Chains A and B, each alone.
Chain A
């Protein structure tokens, strides 16, 4: 069989080779029986198989994702879901066709809903439809994604990604998808190469056995010729050697080709990410997301729980600066019992600092825990989604009050420097108006708000470009405001880890970048090659 080369868009860097696991069932064919009774039995078995598979997955997952899967289990357990399918099977339609007809009708019902929330559930029903189809057709699904395999699919959900083991290689090749999707962010964080937008995956009857994924160039080769494979393995070996070399030097501070010292910080979303990591690879932590504390099923975390976690992170950093961001819920990060579910446009709604100021009883607990943790290291506190100076001022007054209250109670505490995340264009344009102790540029939201293009909509992914001159101009504006006010500035969005942008970012005058731990070696290598005088 001739090799198939598909060109898409790079979503997560790196090279991978491995056996192919196909997640969508649409491409495969099954041999149907002529006997309606056998077809009905096959469908029943597939539904039960899908249900058992999800039930098994739930055991390893918590929070929001588990709730979604529990919903799917409940739907699969309900006979009403398949009634229409069994009806048409009894008149001679095959099981897979019948199931698809019935579920597509169900999906159409959700898509026609007035309420955005119910429309969005169509994705869950599609997930259910495809899981059952996969069982009917006998194609490997989620639970059986072998470690190290290349997952080929139309698109994959974050839960599917999280259910697989990416620590021993593997990659993702998608017909659709977007480099700005949550799965792409997860893939970059886990170091799994990913290519999106490959177009329809069709196999002329025979499924591919092996694939080469080039997450740097954005291409995938299915069933490569021996010579193609040999060349690719050669490139992989060279890339691995370069990465190993970069990792060996990643403990050293970063300097540009022209000798400018660049501060490299870490972004983390949970303290577990620091396990086994040598603090010497970084100059500190540029962003600790605190949403993970609020996502559990046990309700909002109390002060002592938060304090213990913040202290653990500060202890790890051994005196290096640690910037913790206050709760950034809302938008694409709903939190049960806290965020508003029914906003027509959550990204322009009550999120970040807006939500914290609206729920002071929750915010105060976090400020108290942070003030107590501040005695254990160089803690800085960052406020997300700041648009106007009064938001910063109100938060500062609250922090002062909690600090004063702790001190009055005789509890050990310190008042940490309070800075802002610059991610709303209004804040970037007027950064000098804020009394912030530092600026941290959040390039993901700054890009989407500047370009009016959502990060997870493939059709506008081209517009969601942090390298756009308008975005770079806002970054440069913020850096200049920091210089004038004599405060620190860093950048902590995905752009910091995109080595194609390193030169452009350093040209804005930035000298501190914050990235996921797996990106550090690659970023330091890119910094070493960059000449920061270029373009300045």
Chain B
């Protein structure tokens, strides 16, 4: 699941941050959690999110951990991304959240 090399190399990159509001009806529930982690796993960058700008941070590649956050509708997700493809990764997860995870 967690590529050791990826996270080691990720340390060399300056973290990028951005936030987005959860617009889909019941928040970060089962389907959106799966979609978010699937999206995140497509990148080598370390991708984390939190409900507050200063954490605590949650690994966005772990559905178990994402579900534990129980982020409700209207919550602001703060992302922190570090890695060689960090820019693309951040854009992808933000697009997913803005789009309501395709749930309308």
* Interface positions of A (Cβ within 8 A of B): 67-68, 70-71, 74-75, 77-81, 106, 109, 113-115, 117-118, 121, 124, 336-337, 340-342
> A75-B63, A337-B103 are contacts. A67–B30 as well, Cβ < 8 Å?
yes
Shortest B63–chain A CB gap in Å is 4
Q: Is the CB of A342 within 8 A of B62?
A: no
List chain B residues, Cβ under 8 A from A74: 33-34, 37-38, 63
Q: Is the CB of A79 within 8 A of B1?
A: yes
Instruction: Confirm or deny: B95 has a beta carbon within 8 angstroms of a beta carbon on chain A.
Output: no
Instruction: Confirm or deny: B7 has a beta carbon within 8 angstroms of a beta carbon on chain A.
Output: no
Shortest B91–chain A CB gap in Å is 23
Q: Is the CB of A68 within 8 A of B30?
A: yes
Q: Is the CB of A336 within 8 A of B103?
A: yes
> A79-B1, A337-B103 are contacts. A115–B72 as well, Cβ < 8 Å?
yes
Instruction: Confirm or deny: B17 has a beta carbon within 8 angstroms of a beta carbon on chain A.
Output: no
Q: Is the CB of B30 within 8 A of A71?
A: yes
Q: How far is the CA of A377 from the CA of B26 in the complex (A)?
A: 42
Q: How far is the CA of A340 from the CA of B24 in the complex (A)?
A: 10
List chain A residues, Cβ under 8 A from B65: 78, 80
Q: Is the CB of A337 within 8 A of B73?
A: no
Instruction: Give the B interface residue count (CB, 8 A).
Output: 24
Q: How far is the CA of A113 from the CA of B71 in the complex (A)?
A: 11
Can you list 25 A-B pairs, Cβ within 8 angstroms, ordered by A?
Answer: A67-B31, A68-B30, A71-B30, A74-B34, A74-B37, A75-B64, A77-B63, A78-B1, A78-B37, A78-B62, A78-B64, A78-B65, A80-B59, A80-B64, A81-B64, A113-B70, A115-B26, A117-B29, A118-B29, A118-B67, A121-B67, A336-B103, A336-B104, A341-B25, A341-B29
Instruction: Confirm or deny: B98 has a beta carbon within 8 angstroms of a beta carbon on chain A.
Output: no
> A336-B103, A337-B103 are contacts. A121–B30 as well, Cβ < 8 Å?
yes
Interface residues of B in 34-88 (CB under 8 A from A): 34, 37-38, 59, 62-65, 67-68, 70, 72-73
Shortest B28–chain A CB gap in Å is 9
The 7 closest A-B pairs by CB, nearest first: A341-B25, A337-B104, A80-B64, A71-B30, A341-B26, A74-B63, A117-B26
Q: Is the CB of B37 within 8 A of A121?
A: no
Q: Which of A70, A118, A341, A342 has most chain B Cβ within 10 Å? A: A118
Instruction: Confirm or deny: B27 has a beta carbon within 8 angstroms of a beta carbon on chain A.
Output: yes
Q: Which of A78, A113, A336, A342 has most chain B Cβ within 10 Å? A: A78
Q: Is the CB of A340 within 8 A of B25?
A: yes
A67, closest chain B residue (CB): B31
List chain A residues, Cβ under 8 A from B64: 75, 78, 80-81, 106
Q: Is the CB of B31 within 8 A of A71?
A: yes
Shortest A83–chain B CB gap in Å is 9
List chain A residues, Cβ under 8 A from B29: 117-118, 121, 341
Q: How far is the CA of A534 from the CA of B102 in the complex (A)?
A: 57
Q: How far is the CA of A70 from the CA of B2 in the complex (A)?
A: 20
Q: Is the CB of A70 within 8 A of B34?
A: yes
List chain A residues, Cβ under 8 A from B1: 77-79
Q: How far is the CA of A218 from the CA of B25 in the complex (A)?
A: 41
Q: How far is the CA of A340 from the CA of B33 in the complex (A)?
A: 18
B31, closest chain A residue (CB): A67
A337, closest chain B residue (CB): B104
A73, closest chain B residue (CB): B34
- 9 further contact pairs, Cβ within 8 A, besides A79-B1, A336-B103, A341-B26: A71-B30, A71-B31, A71-B33, A78-B37, A78-B62, A79-B62, A121-B29, A341-B29, A342-B26
List chain A residues, Cβ under 8 A from B103: 336-337
List chain B residues, Cβ under 8 A from A117: 26-27, 29
Q: How far is the CA of A79 from the CA of B37 in the complex (A)?
A: 13
Q: How far is the CA of A71 from the CA of B65 in the complex (A)?
A: 13
> A117-B27, A337-B104 are contacts. A78–B72 as well, Cβ < 8 Å?
no
> A74-B63, A78-B64, A79-B1 are contacts. A115–B70 as well, Cβ < 8 Å?
yes
List chain B residues, Cβ under 8 A from A341: 25-26, 29
List chain A residues, Cβ under 8 A from B2: 79
